[in-house]
Structure 1
Amino acid sequence: MNPTPLSRATGFCNAYDLQVPILMAPMAGACPASLAIPVANGGGIGACGCLLMQPDGIANWAREMRAGSNGAFQLNVWIPDPDPLRDPAHEARVRAFLGQWGPEVLAKDAEAPLPDFEAQCDAMLAAGPHVISSIMGVYPAPFVARMKERGVKWFATVTTVTEALASEAAGADVIVAQDMEAGGHRGSFDADDAARSLVGLFALLPAVVDAVQVPVVATGGIADARGVAAALVLGASAVQIGTGLLRAPEAGIAPSWADAIGDALPEGTVSTRAFSGRLGRSIRTAYTEAAEEGPIPAPYPIQRNITKMMRESATGIDRMQAWAGQSARLARAEPATDLVAGLWDEAREILQT
């Protein structure tokens, strides 16, 4: 017999020593330990997106996390893209456009190397998390073997059924199905394919559940109990929430970003490459609107490097990198522990009626 949504969620919680089947999304740049701690203390899984962190930063985050909670947490890093194809003349046009939105951008500003991926992987393992998750691809086989030797579970983020099957074949313990409604960067394995494979939750989730044998976590566009319940009915064993947690006081994001999340209608968000060169969903702003008429963004990570001055100098929402999913307006401005526990109480009530 097929398990019921509640029994499936209960089984997932038992397997990962949780009280609620809710994961915090590992949002690089917006995942302080101060937010992960109350999520874990509320019975879910806290998270850290380690993309921009050096190994000592990863160790420090894990240390702070453990000082505030003995709950579960996941660490996450992007699988690196191939080196981008550079076009100096086009980059000059993009820099000139960006100069209209912030400080002057110089050619040298494009050169900002990413942290060493292998060193980040070593640091994540050394931190001893319950879960290491991936996005933008699958981990190399030797690293997967090291995770399994240490009993660390691998949660692989996917955006298509094809990616889900590839992740399962590579050894993923859980598939995190990310739909097109999700805020922040789209986790497509192929950056060029991100805009051609946009699939909503109601289509993606049951298709992934039917295709793989491992548990599936739903993420994207889930910010209230109705979304949690719907995802479980569609076959998920748990949900992962990002934007829905960003109005919690512990998130510590800029007030203008938090206010914009609370005001945003679904059509008030947009998928754009204008911040990083990788497709991501943000609040629709004056900058994202202008960028649609401006020069094509440079590839990742060049675009991210040359928008840094604008993003860091922004004082209002119109020049800010304000990631948000399509269900942003459902996010509650309340403490994260109460939010996580309340979402599950309400979702369980829905499922029991």
Structure 2
Amino acid sequence: MSQSFDVIVLGAGGMGSAACFELARRGLKVLELEQFALVHDRGSSHGHTRIIRTAYAEHPAYVPLARRAFERWYELEQLTGRHLLTECECLNAGPPGSEHVEGVRASVRTHNLAAEELSGTEINRRYPAFRFPAEYRGVVERAAGFLYVEECVRAHLDMAVERGAHIRAEEPVRAWNVIGSGIEVTTDRGTYHAAKLIVTAGAWATKLLADIGVPLRVMRQTLLWFDIGSRGHLFRRDTFPLFIADVPGAPFYGLPAIDPNGLKVARHYGAPELPNPDGVDWNLADADVLALRPLIDEFLPGLGALRKGQVCMYTVTPDRHFVIDTHPGSPQVVVACGFSGHGFKFASAVGEVLADLAQTGATKHDITLFRAGRFAEPARQ
């Protein structure tokens, strides 16, 4: 295999696989390097399902990118003949003044999205599995669903290879350097050169992108599945929504039961921030279940015992927004990191953005919110 490429992509998770596919179908010579086996469970792109939603609480600026992501996931389904996305309505709920619910409303207003307001009592009546206080408020949107996360990554990788991309798994990157107008990447197996580099290294961006001025941290998270017993009819996707519950002190989310593992539920944030992935314990502990059980018993009473659990990672920025940009000191390097636990749904569109930046240094998509320079210290007077 030639050691010289148009673009090298570091990391073959959600974002990297999408970027590799997009570059390959544009006719570029691409190499993707992954330190683990392909479609592995030691990063942030596993756990069977991920929520995709349009009425975005985090900021209205995400909505156009979410719409584009839907289009690209549908296209990927057509290209591969695989079922990657299932549509399902999404409930956003919380007490009066909930930051999350207010954020959803802001996106609904800004982009004139279809949504329905419900009281806590109305939520419980429509979705009998829930027990929200009467004063709670909910916003239900139908432009939502869930992605089969590993299958999405696998589809992007397969389509990239079909279009000529070179993908090398179990080959950790030790360093990358700017050499003249291009870049050089060193791994355990060799040295590669390219005109451009895209770094989509997930939690390992804390090491590979330590010089971009973004204070990245890593957060260990757990995904848990609980037995639904004889109440299974309450948790099917025709009677139970995706949900994000902004409850005091411990926001959590869940997805309908779609297989014998039962109901998938997880906390959002609320875990210690680590300097890098080296400190992540990949073993599920009793404490992981005990941390979530009080929330389940209060808001989803009657769920049974734990059926399955997995550990994953968030790579977080201080403001919890993404970083998608060219490297501040090396314009031939494109960076995508800090997806802060809510990025996977956008992967199909982010791949397009990263390919644009690698080819021309610009993109038609508005990524102002995601610029790395927002963390730079203000100049001293």
Tell me, yes or no, whether TM beats 0.5: no
Provide TM-score, normalisation by structure 1. Answer: 0.28
**Greater strand content:** 2
Provide TM-score, normalisation by structure 2. Answer: 0.27
The structure number with the bigger radius of gyration is: 2
Bigger relative contact order, structure 1 or 2, given CA contacts below 8 A and separation 6+? 2
